[in-house]
Amino acid sequence: MDLIRTPDQNKERKRLNKENIFKDFEIDKSLLSLGKGKKYFLYTYGCQENESDSEKIRGMLSLLSFKETTIIEEADLILMNTCAIRKNAEDKVFGELGRLKQLKREKPEIITALCGCMSQEESVVDKIMKKYQNVDLVFGTHNIASLPNLLNTVMTSHDRVIDVLSYEGDITEKIPVERQNKIKAWIPIMYGCDEFCTYCIVPYTRGKERSRLPENILNEVQSLIKDGYKEVTLLGQNVNAYGKDFTDRDYDFADLLEDLSHMNIERVRFTTSNPKDLSDRQIEVLSKGGNLMPYLHLPVQSGSSKVLKKMNRGYTREDYLDRVEKIRKAIPDISLTTDIIVGFPFETEEDFQETLSLVQECGFEGAFTFIFSKREGTPASKFVDESITDEIAHERLYRLNNVVNEGYKKGNERFLGKNVKVLIEGYSKKENDILMGYTEHNKLVNVKGDKKYIGQIVNCLITKAKTWSLDGEISKEQYS
Ligand code: 5AD
Ligand code: SF4
């Protein structure tokens, strides 16, 4: 009999005052050969959180003896780890699912699974149940650790399994992680989001804000150092709120940064920060530098206080500018980037002009820019403003991108003729003998050099600044 538990966005909206439940991943030994002789193909859409979840999916599938393939026709199991942040992300997945119908017709024994943020949406699961019989398994973001058991049910019973939990998730530690990058690692430090910005689906799809215990995070970093990792990026929807949910200790994001700054990892980055929760103490810790990188992604979303209020961002234009001033005073050469949404309901041309002027005032060196996308079940999906047509939204995006691109270029030009430290990651995709890596300020550098430098932090002289990248050469003088 099919197992069906579907999501309920009304329940997902609720925040019960219950304490975090910490568990350790467990697996029934009888499942360890479930995937013997079988291959899987994994699609990952969306943000770093999803990339990080995919590393756990890979880890669990390896434990079950599955092997990964990059050739979809070879796969016995196809998984789609999906993103729900904007409609176009969802359209891509449905397009792909449509194409996979044909593959399933040719090879009916293939198992197709859908997980990630889309699986937490009522409308998506409803559509899959009605129109996509080719999907055998749907599981949500809260029960990713149940993948071995769910797969076992599908493979042994051949039933359809839809198992999506709507309540806030627990924190499951010790899920095996298979990282593809051997130099830089993602580390989730918290899950979920309690902000409820009116446009955003994340608080529904990822549940209550809950923090991992610092000792687990620090141990993970320690073992990455042992494995030769050079850089960690701490992940969370709002890392500045880290620790707010602890009831047994007084420990926040500034404390975590401070502890990490004393560890032997070369580089520490984090994403994403909500300006509202960026405390003076966090700025102070960050300003000590060392392994804490001089780079901050600080999504503003809009330069108009009126729009920010409608977005429920919890700060005004002035508050944001004040934060930026404090940051620049503490860390003058920091590289700042942001996220911006245009065409939000009731955004007038004047509001949009305020966004343009804020971008210039803040000196952003990059921005992810988006047209507002209605997400079912969020408050903003009910804001009706017919004055913003598709054409107006696209035209605003175009004008914004022109200003943002100037910032990218200026941000790169300031390093021309300078020596910078580059963590070399590998060969550039475009040219074979050119190495690529990132500077402390998170600038992409291409440099000619030997493969012995891969995984090393190398001193490079910047010889050319382009809009999206820098060219350099390996300096004669190297730091040890
Ligand atoms: N429409 C457009 N952009 C959105 N974002 C989040 N939700 C939406 C939406 N409904 C953007 C925000 C956020 C980034 C990850 O995606 O700018 O910071
Ligand atoms: Fe969405 Fe706002 Fe939470 Fe970011 S802080 S994930 S934009 S609700």
Span 78-92, mean pLDDT? 96
Which residues fall within 8 angstroms of residue 115, CB to CB, at 6 or more apart? 53, 57, 79, 80, 81, 82, 138, 139, 140, 141, 144, 147
Q: Is 298 in the pocket of ligand 2 (CB under 6 A)?
A: no
Ligand in nearest proximity to the CA of 379:
1
Q: Which atom of ligand 2 is nearest to the CA of 339?
A: 7
User: In angstroms, what is the span from residue 299 Cα to ligand 2's centroid?
Assistant: 10
Give the tens place of pLDDT for each residue, 229-263.
Answer: 999 999 999 999 999 999 999 999 999 999 999 99
Pocket test for ligand 1, best of 239, 341, 355 (most atoms within 8 A of CB): 341
For ligand 2, the distance from its centroid to the CA atom of residue 272, given in whole angstroms, is 9
Burial 102-123 (b: 16+ CB within 10 A, else e): ebbeeeeebbbbbbbbbbbbbe
For residue 214, give the 3-state DSSP assignment.
helix
| Ligand 2 center from residue 382 Cα (angstroms) | 18
Tell me the pLDDT band of 432, cut-offs 50, 70 and 90: confident
Distance 381 CA to ligand 1 centre (A): 13
Pocket test for ligand 1, best of 118, 199, 272, 364 (most atoms within 8 A of CB): 199
Ligand nearest to the CA of 203: 2
- Mean pLDDT calculated for residue range 274-287: 96
Residue 370 Cα to ligand 1 middle (Å):
7
- Taking CA atoms only, the protein residue closest to ligand 2 atom 1 is 200
Instruction: State mean pLDDT over 142-146.
Output: 94
Is 175 near ligand 1, meaning CB less than 6 Å away?
no
Tokens read off for 117 = 């943020």
CA of 70 to the centre of ligand 1 (A): 30
Task: Tell me, in angstroms, the distance from the centre of ligand 1 to residue 86's CA.
Answer: 7
Is pLDDT at 14 greater than 90 in this prediction? Answer: no
Query: Cβ distance 371 to 355 under 8 Å?
Result: no
Out of 86, 88, 320, 371, give the residue to mutate to test ligand 1, the one with the largest number of ligand atoms within 8 Å of its CB: 86
The answer, yes or no, to whether any atom of ligand 2 lies below 6 A from the CB of 241, is no
Quickly count: other Cβ atoms within 10 Å of residue 337's Cβ.
21
* Cα-to-centroid distance, 170 and ligand 1 (Å): 25
Query: Which residues neighbour 219 within 8 Å (Cβ) at sequence distance 6 or greater?
Result: none
* Closest listed residue to residue 219, CA positions, set 267, 259, 169, 273: 259
Say what percent of the chain tops pLDDT 70. 99
Rounded distance from Cα 303 to ligand 1 centre (Å)? 15
Distance from the alpha carbon of residue 218 to the mean position of ligand 2, in angstroms:
26
Q: Is the dihedral of CA 265, 267, 272, 278 positive or negative?
A: positive
Q: How far apart are CA 281 and CA 274, in angstroms?
A: 15
For the Cβ of 238 lying below 6 angstroms from any atom of ligand 2, the answer is: yes
Q: Say if ligand 1 is within 6 A of residue 301 CB.
A: yes
pLDDT tens across 310-357, in order?
A: 999 999 999 999 999 999 999 999 999 999 999 999 999 999 999 999
Strand 67-68 vs strand 39-44: parallel, antiparallel, or unpaired?
A: parallel
Over residues 64-80, mean pLDDT:
97
Cross-strand partners of 3: 161
What pLDDT was estimated at residue 168? 67
pLDDT, residue 170, reads 86
Residue 26 DSSP SS3: coil
**266: Cβ below 6 Å to ligand 2?**
no
Q: What's residue 16's pLDDT?
A: 76
Pair 266, 423: CB distance under 8 Å: yes
User: 368 has which bridge partners?
Assistant: 339
Other beta carbons within 10 Å of 350: 9
pLDDT tops 70 at residue 180: yes
Query: How many whole angstroms separate alpha carbon 50 and alpha carbon 235?
Result: 11
pLDDT of residue 85 exceeding 80: yes
Decide if pLDDT at 429 tops 80: no
Q: For ligand 1, is residue 208 a contact (CB within 6 Å)?
A: no
Residues in the chain: 480
Neighbours of 91 (CB within 10 A): 10
Ligand 1 pocket residue status of 375, Cβ below 6 Å: yes
**Phi, psi (deg, nearest 5) at residue 464:** -150, 135
Asked if 212 and 173 count as a contact pair (C-beta separation under 8 A), the reply is yes
Tokens of 271: 């994403």
Predicted TM-score (pTM) of the model is: 0.95
Q: Is the pLDDT of residue 125 over 80?
A: yes
Residue nearest to atom 4 of ligand 2 (CA): 237
